[in-house]
A and B are shown apart, each in its own frame.
Chain A
């Protein structure tokens, strides 16, 4: 089964704790992305990576960190510095530099801070 997976689907965290969201793809895509989606707002880019061991900040990177040690994996850590972490988080992947750059999205992780 080819695709992009995210885990867990639902995640609860106490205020002040760090939490890591998993994203894995077996599409052999070079580029991977993390977005945050809040009710009534468009997707906002947190971090993206065009190649292994390299990543760039998106529009709202503060309070988040990522790593890209393997092509297939792009985990996102939500740190305690993120002031409003409750949101729906989407991971995506695409062919790097592709003109049509279709991004394939995972099913998402809904994070709730208690």
Chain B
């Protein structure tokens, strides 16, 4: 069964600190892995996307890594800000019938305290 597992489930950090969120997946065949940020009560917004051949991708203070051999990804947030408080969702897509079917993780809830 294709699954995407994220850890930790929730995380509390102080403003200015760094943190790393984890994503392990069993989705196969693999097409791409995307990290989304979802603010409370809003729709998710894409942060980064990586394909099989990419092992790191940055978007400002967000850096995602991918190890396709071990099927693991991480999202590192540098110098956290209060606005980083949100749920971070890992999504792994697989090719299927000419399209790409996403499998969503449950998300990591991040709270940044002043």
Contact = CB atoms under 8 A, between A and B. Distances in A.
Interface of A: 4, 31, 35, 40-44, 50, 88, 90, 92, 96-103, 105-108, 110
B99 A101 contact: yes
Interface of B: 4, 9, 31-32, 34, 41-46, 49, 89, 93, 98-100, 102-107
Query: From DSSP, what is the main secondary structure of chain B's interface residues?
Result: strand
Contacts of B43: 4, 90, 92, 105-108
B93 A101 contact: yes
B97 to A, nearest CB: 9
Classify the interface of chain A: helix, strand, loop or mixed: loop
Given A90-B43, A105-B44, A108-B41, A99 B102 contact: no
Contact of A101 (B45, B89, B100, B104): B100
B81 to A, nearest CB: 22
Contacts of A31: 99
Q: Which 7 A-B pairs have the closest CB atoms?
A: A105-B43, A42-B104, A43-B104, A101-B100, A42-B106, A105-B44, A102-B46
A108 B42 contact: yes
A99 B42 contact: no
B31 to A, nearest CB: 7
